[in-house]
Amino acid sequence: MAGVPETVLVSASQDQDAQASSDPQTSAPTSPLQDFRVRCTLKRAVMEVMDLCGRFVQELGAFLPEDIRELALRDVQWTFESAVQENVSIKGQAWQEATDHYLLDSDIKVLEDEFDELIVDVATKRRQYPRRILESIIKTLKAQHEILKQYRPVVYPVDLKCDPDPASHVENLKCRGDAIAKKISDAMKMVLREAKTLAASKAWLQSQVFTKA
């Protein structure tokens, strides 16, 4: 060092070594390393600042040759963002570990506006859609009625064949009629016999009752 005697530098260094050896507490660090990163509270706010500065970085491309402009701007942008992320902390956390768990007032305002638009849209549809649906149903029913009016069922004629010999059918019916008449006559005779038997039994029972009396 120019203008400073060498003996002074040596003596000063010796005095410092002696003081360090006499005071061991000052030589050993008692507190953790100081965090020199810039402390921030919102990651999104830092990103907005980075976007704002990124515009100025893009404007520097106007002074670069066109053949290397895109590659150089990309490299400069990445270097700038990496440097910012490494030198800031979000509530004491590193950039990669930090997250924003709540919405900003501007985000809440945007959500409220979108919600209001949805309410208005739904209310408008509730007034308009029932009318449109009713009109569509009426048109559909009218179309179905017109189709039913134009419907004509197809009737295919039946080929009727005349019996060339109807006398055989007449003879068959006559035979069946005689058989049925005979069965009816036999049934009537049986009913009469049963009636006579019941009358005789009734008379006999009455005579027995009077005899005992």
pLDDT tens profile 64-119: 888 888 888 888 888 888 888 888 888 888 888 877 655 556 667 788 888 888 88
Contact status, residue 100 vs residue 42, Cβ threshold 8 Å = yes
Q: Which residue has the higher pLDDT, 13 or 45?
A: 45
Of the ranges 27-36, 54-63, 144-153, 172-181, which one carries the lowest mean pLDDT score?
A: 27-36
Q: Which residue has the higher pLDDT, 11 or 139?
A: 139
Show the tokens assigned to 84.
């910012």
Most confident of 13-27, 83-97, 159-173: 83-97
**pLDDT classification of 1: cutoffs 50, 70, 90:** very low
SS (H, E, C) the chain: CCCCCHHHHHHHHHHHHHHHHHCHHHHCCCCCCCCCCEEECCHHHHHHHHHHHHHHHHHHHHHCCHHHHHHHHHHHHHHHHHHHHHCEEECCECCCCCCCCCCCHHHHHHHHHHHHHHHHHHHHHHHHHHHHHHHHHHHHHHHHHHHHHCCCCCCCCCCCCCCCCHHHHHHHHHHHHHHHHHHHHHHHHHHHHHHHHHHHHHHHHHHHHHHHC
User: How much is the mean pLDDT over the chain?
Assistant: 75
Q: pLDDT value at position 144?
A: 87
The reported pTM is 0.33
Average pLDDT over residues 181-190: 90
Per-residue pLDDT tens over the stretch 124-160: 877 777 777 878 888 888 888 888 888 887 888 877 7
**pLDDT classification of 10: cutoffs 50, 70, 90:** very low
Show the tokens assigned to 92.
């004491």
**pLDDT classification of 164: cutoffs 50, 70, 90:** low
